[in-house]
Amino acid sequence: MEADHTALSLIQLGAVFFGLGVLGRLAQRVGMSPIPLYLLGGLAFGNGGVIELGNIEEFTHLAAEIGVVLLLLMLGLEYTATELFTGLRRSWLAGLVDIVLNATPGAALALLLGWGPTAALVMAGITYISSSGIIAKILNDLGRTGNRETPVVLSILVFEDLVMAAYLPTLTAMLGGISLMAGLRAVGISLFVVTVVLVVAMRYGRYVSAVLFSEDREIFLLKLLGSALLVAGVAAAMQVSAAVGAFLLGIAIAGPAARSATRVLEPLRDLFAAIFFVVFGLNTDPRDIPPVLGFAVALAVVTTITKLATGWWAAHRQGIGPLGRARAGASLIARGEFSIIIAGLAVSAGAVEPRLAALATTYVLLMAALGPIAARVVEPTVRLVRGTPAPKPVS
């Protein structure tokens, strides 16, 4: 019987991995993020789907947790502590505008639906945080990494990441039903740890990098993955989000070690992150989506407008022209991994309205697909409205 169970588990895992590859290839062909397709794949093979997979839960649960850790570790590798502080000084006002405009719609909808303050906090985070992973890919694919508005976009993303360092422990405290004082203590611990790590990263980051770095890819990979899981586990034990712990470790790794780490970890991140999105879909019953589809569409429309307004205003403050302002706003639209992480925390805690998972999945499906499309069409649309001719191709 054990052999039969193992064989069935291997067959199901093989089918899942192969299916993810097909979906990723399809997304690549049509020029969109694969995240919506991964979520759809999870919906198709979870509870209430076409075929229910029931033999891989233990593996996929742990793999999904590793996926979150690697997503945030890789995000941290993109920044240095100095860049974080610089970005915070430059973007704090735009960051506050971002919070007000984009957290409010989610919180307001949860309250209007009668889901309570905890669900309102969850939905505020889901609609607030942009997808750094999708946005980084958009900027790279469209050749906009050197544009004048790109530093504005990145500064807002950095501010959002720092907000998450306080938001996630607050949310975890509320989901766990602990007291206000315990929640404030968790936030205080989180902010203290974040501050200490950032100071260590600024002053002693080279030593952290030296300890982890190795010319041998295998040794380097083992050190990186081991340290990421250790830090994430310790962070979780200290009531700091494991994801934030991984993000801070990424910030502490700098120079050649960070560049090498990105190359070494990228395939692993893509694999485990894909499983994370699939697992969220597996845990959502597709029969729950039709009742919340209208709310998800309305939320998508409102928060598309608010992100456009955020990027436009922030770029305008830096003296950037209308085309750059529009590109900045459109670049911020996509929601993805962090929104799903927040919803996943809430659903796993079982402390919120069951329909929240379906609403979050549908919303992220819409926004992850809409973000890359909006980034592509915004410039020709603005040129058409303003009567500005498109630039001639360089021969």
Give whichever of 64-68, 79-83, 109-113 has the largest mean pLDDT: 109-113
Mean pLDDT over residues 202-229, rounded?
85
Please give the residue that has the higher pLDDT: either 298 or 337.
Answer: 298
**Can you tell me the distance from the alpha carbon of 153 to that of 324, in angstroms, rounded to the nearest whole number?**
11
What letter represents residue 299's amino acid?
L
**Can you tell me the distance from the alpha carbon of 330 to that of 339, in angstroms, rounded to the nearest whole number?**
18
Dihedral sign for Cα atoms in the order 176, 182, 185, 189: negative
Mean pLDDT over residues 7-28, rounded?
83
pLDDT band of residue 391 (cuts 50, 70, 90) is low
* pLDDT value for 394: 41
User: In the numeric block, which tokens belong to residue 162?
Assistant: 């720092």
Domain segments of the chain: what residues?
2-382
| CA separation, residue 292 to residues 77, 102, 355, 363 (Å) | 37, 19, 8, 9
What's the half-sphere exposure (Cβ side, CA atoms, 13 Å) at 175? 23
* pLDDT value for 186: 67
| CA separation, residue 188 to residues 79, 235, 351 (Å) | 24, 13, 23
Mean pLDDT over residues 330-349, rounded?
83
Q: Is it the case that residue 395 has pLDDT exceeding 50?
A: no
* pLDDT value for 13: 80
Mean pLDDT over residues 43-61, rounded?
69
CATH 1.20.1530.20 at 2-382, yes or no: yes
Q: Is it the case that residue 262 has pLDDT exceeding 60?
A: yes
Mean pLDDT over residues 168-177, rounded?
74
pLDDT in tens, 360-373: 888 988 898 888 88
* pLDDT value for 181: 67
| C-alpha 235, offset from chain centre | 19
**Can you tell me the distance from the alpha carbon of 258 to that of 170, in angstroms, rounded to the nearest whole number?**
30
pLDDT in tens, 280-312: 777 777 888 899 999 999 999 999 999 999 999
